[in-house]
Amino acid sequence: MAMDDLAEKVRAGGRLSGPEALQLYRHASLHLLGDLADGVRARKHPDRIVSYIIDRNVNYTNVCVARCSFCAFYRDVGASDGYVLGFEEIFRKIDETIAVGGVQLLLQGGHNPDLPLAWYEDLFRSVKQRYPEFKLHALSPPEVIHLSRLSKLPVPEVIDRLIAAGLDSIPGGGAEILVDRVRKLLHCYGKATADEWLDVMRHAHRAGLRTTATMMYGTVETDEERLEHLLRLRTLQDETGGFTAFITWSFQPSHTELGGSEATGVDYLRTLALARLVLDNFDHLQASWVTQGGKVGQLSLAFGADDMGSVMIEENVVRAAGAAYCMDEVEIVRNIEDAGFIPRRRNMHYDILGGPIFRERAVPRMHNLATARRDGDASVPSELLNYPARSRTGKEQRGQAEPDSGLRPSGPDPARN
Ligand code: SF4
């Protein structure tokens, strides 16, 4: 189709086929792509509101057996700088988050074989007991699959148990590119195939949860595979309607096994615009200022994004791969207003909670994002002793007998996963 006809189809609200989207992505000028994506954004959000959420990105453990080749965050079981956060440490982080107007934790971590399902259930219950209104946006699909394998329970049952314990929504992490050829090359096929990732989201949506969807691009995928990822999300959204938002970011290569170079800012803006055009059944697209920096993050608002994501407060994963951008609420609001939009605080469901909190009351400025723990803090939370470990290192650390020693493990009933 001629470029003018394609542009006309988008402006008239028509749904793009795969080949049409690919043609736009490859051959439309940056200006045209941005203009079309901005048009879709304006149709969906004519009020010119750009939202953001105040939350904290807490990584409860960096110990992981998945070993994805693009990840600079994980540590092997037994590594001296591997950690698990204690419940009290997490409560402290929640207190600090609430103090600056935060409403939820984005809680994700490695696939730690020594944290059974009961640990997550107890954590969620104790959070909800202390902070009944505070939300838990927690455990991406590969983490849910990891818990399903660890507990030998089917995914829907794991999700039901986590919801009963206090899970409010599931973040869309771990999607990378939802094409198994790519997943095999990135060593993330084992943690979740494309179908498995989508299936967790399907079950979560059926169980009544809303979730987000993500895409990490710029590794080994082709343009066609990038597009296939978006089309698979669009198909599931047609089926369930359970996705609230889509977030894309570029692979951050520093300190990773995969290495290479990072995609450019223009590639980010083209990919974001492509997503806005293809994902016609998604209400919201977030700008990824955490990986692209504040300036490209602000430009995202002209390329289809209607949300500036999270104020964050804490970040560990992207920082491990070399990106350390920080924007507090004042800075996010400044960027939104300077781009000609109206800033509004929201919750995970994109309900508007109000205007900038710093205009309502004094909030300390934040010039650096916090980390999970202070460097050199190797403390082991005392409550971990209550849960059976699976790895040899974990058992030794917790003073639990090997199963073949004839001694019973200490702690609660190991059948409680
Ligand atoms: S991306 Fe997640 S699952 Fe993969 S190695 Fe890193 S922490 Fe583990």
Q: Per-residue pLDDT tens for 244-290?
A: 999 999 999 888 999 999 999 999 999 999 999 999 999 999 999 98
- Residue type for position 347: N
201 phi, psi to nearest 5 deg: -65, -40
* Protein residue closest via CA to atom 2 of ligand 1: 110
74 touches ligand 1 (CB under 6 Å): yes
Sole residue written with tokens 């949300």: 307
Atom 3 in ligand 1: residue holding the nearest Cα = 66
Amino acid at the residue 351 = D
Are β-strands 169-170 and 104-108 bridged in parallel, bridged antiparallel, or unpaired? unpaired
Question: What is the residue-averaged pLDDT of the chain?
Answer: 92
- Report the C-alpha gap between 166 and 217 in whole angstroms: 32
Q: How many angstroms separate the alpha carbon of residue 174 from the centre of ligand 1?
A: 8
Q: How big is the chain, counted in residues?
A: 417
CATH superfamily of 55-332: Aldolase class I (3.20.20.70)
Residue written as tokens 């570029």? 250
DSSP 14: P
Both tokens of 4, joined, read 């003018």
* Residue whose CB lies within 8 A of the most ligand 1 atoms, among 64, 83, 249, for a mutation test: 64
Residue 65 near ligand 1, beta carbon < 6 Å: no
pLDDT digits (tens, 9 = 90+) for 401-411: 665 544 443 33
* Ligand 1 pocket member 71 (CB < 6 A): yes
Question: CA gyration radius for the chain?
Answer: 21
**This model's pTM is above 0.85:** yes
The CA 27 to ligand 1 mean position distance, Å, reads 35
Residues 6+ positions from 406 with CB-CB distance below 8 Å = none
60 lines ligand 1 (CB under 6 A): no
Atom 7 of ligand 1 has which residue's CA nearest to it? 110
Identify the CA nearest to 166 among candidates 212, 209, 127, 118.
127
Cβ atoms of residues 215 and 177 within 8 Å: yes
DSSP state of 261: -
Two tokens, residue 247: 């977030």
* DSSP H helical ranges for 308-369: 317-320, 329-338
3-state secondary structure of 88: helix
Other Cβ atoms within 10 Å of 382 Cβ, number: 10
The more confident residue out of 412 and 363 is 363
Q: What is the pLDDT of residue 325?
A: 80
Q: Would you state the pLDDT for residue 414?
A: 37
In a 3-state reduction of DSSP, which class is residue 382?
A: helix
285-288: list long-range contacts, CB under 8 Å, 24+ apart: 285/41, 285/245, 285/246, 285/247, 286/245, 286/246, 286/247, 288/247, 288/248, 288/249
Cβ(146) to ligand 1 under 6 A? no
What are the tens digits of pLDDT across the range 61-77?
Answer: 999 999 999 999 999 99
Cβ of residue 110 lying under 6 Å from some atom of ligand 1: yes
